[in-house]
């Protein structure tokens, strides 16, 4: 059916590591169906923010929510069916599995394993092996990976591996997708392909937030950009608006 994604609401998130304040009360609102860029110098708290939203870190204070669902205070495994999905800066694919098997694992994990699984099993609501295989095939074709189904991820060019990672994140059928430096290590042509893929993901009804250092990509892909520096939001607006802000230029010169 037609979907519009859901908003991501981050409110007053702080995160302290011993003496270090990595995030100092960060708030941002990402609209449903938006592509939001998060930029900022190294150490400004971008990945920490993703880690808090996705439950890897516990916030010192503040909340994050997608739609009506509060994310903060839940563990990562409790978030796997919450509608939030993410990728990591460094690829986290299973090296012993084929590309298709990596997707099958993600699809299987995202299925509803609950009380209802056991109650509804006899009436066939539970996704069968055959259904999972079909969904994996759909993902492979959607991400242009048909030719690589049986390959070991590491035998593939890096740009293809990153696309597998993206397909795997989409296996959970997320409403909000967090991408941590999706263009890192990609060549110009691959960055162009990535841009098209992210747009099509958004058009399928997913709200996308990406941390990215490739400013050309941020400028041409994102609807709005949030700039972090020293754990604070120092600017926010359209790419054209933030690019000319003096505090943004200063933050980058100091990097």
By the criterion CB under 6 A, which residues form the site for ligand ADP? 17, 20, 22, 40, 42-48
Are 83 and 6 within 8 A, CB to CB?
Answer: yes
Q: How far is the CB of 180 from ligand ADP (least distance, A)?
A: 8
Tokens of 245: 């802000």
CA dihedral 47, 51, 54, 58 (to 10 degrees): -150
Q: How far is the CB of 13 from ligand ADP (least distance, A)?
A: 12
DSSP string, 70-128: E-TTS-GGGGTTTTEEE--SS----TTS-HHHHHHHHHHHHS--SHHHHHHGGGT-SPP
Nearest CB to ligand ADP, comparing residues 46 and 175: 46
Closest CA relative to residue 206, chosen from 169, 238, 180: 169
Chain centroid, CA 3 distance in Å: 18
Q: How far is the CB of 14 from ligand ADP (least distance, A)?
A: 12
In this structure, the number of other CB atoms found within 10 A of the CB of residue 71 comes to 23
Nearest CB to ligand ADP, comparing residues 100 and 181: 181
Nearest CB to ligand ADP, comparing residues 17 and 116: 17
Report, in angstroms and rounded to the nearest whole number, the Rg of the chain calculated over CA atoms.
19
Closest CA relative to residue 172, chosen from 236, 83, 63: 83
Nearest CB to ligand ADP, comparing residues 21 and 142: 21
Q: How far is the CB of 41 from ligand ADP (least distance, A)?
A: 7
Q: How far is the CB of 58 from ligand ADP (least distance, A)?
A: 11
Q: How far is the CB of 165 from ligand ADP (least distance, A)?
A: 18
Nearest CB to ligand ADP, comparing residues 7 and 231: 231
Nearest CB to ligand ADP, comparing residues 24 and 142: 24
3-class DSSP state of 179: strand
Q: How far is the CB of 48 from ligand ADP (least distance, A)?
A: 3
Nearest CB to ligand ADP, comparing residues 22 and 166: 22
Are 223 and 202 within 8 A, CB to CB?
Answer: no
């Amino acid at each position: 059916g037609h979907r519009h994604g859901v908003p991501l609401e981050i409110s007053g998130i702080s995160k302290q590591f011993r003496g270090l304040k990595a995030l100092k009360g960060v708030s941002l609102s990402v609209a449903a169906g938006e592509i939001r860029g998060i930029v900022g110098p190294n150490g400004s708290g971008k990945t920490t923010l993703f880690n808090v939203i996705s439950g890897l870190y516990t916030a010192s204070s503040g909340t994050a929510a997608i739609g009506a669902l509060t994310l903060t205070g839940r563990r990562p495994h409790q978030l796997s069916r919450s509608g939030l999905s993410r990728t990591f800066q460094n690829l986290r694919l299973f090296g012993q599995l084929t590309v298709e098997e990596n997707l099958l694992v993600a699809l299987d994990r995202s299925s509803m394993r609950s009380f209802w699984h056991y109650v509804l099993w006899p009436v066939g609501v539970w996704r069968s092996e055959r259904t999972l295989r079909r969904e994996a095939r759909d993902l492979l074709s959607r991400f242009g990976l048909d030719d690589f189904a049986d390959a070991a991820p590491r035998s593939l060019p890096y740009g293809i591996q990153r696309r597998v990672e993206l397909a795997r994140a989409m296996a959970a059928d997320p409403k909000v997708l967090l991408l941590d430096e999706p263009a890192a290590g990609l060549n110009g042509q691959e960055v162009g392909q990535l841009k098209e893929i992210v747009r099509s993901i958004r058009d399928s009804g997913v709200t996308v937030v990406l941390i990215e250092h490739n400013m050309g990509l941020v400028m041409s892909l994102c609807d709005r950009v949030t700039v972090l520096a020293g754990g604070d939001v120092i600017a926010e607006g359209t790419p054209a608006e933030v690019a000319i802000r003096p505090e943004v230029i200063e933050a980058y010169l100091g990097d």
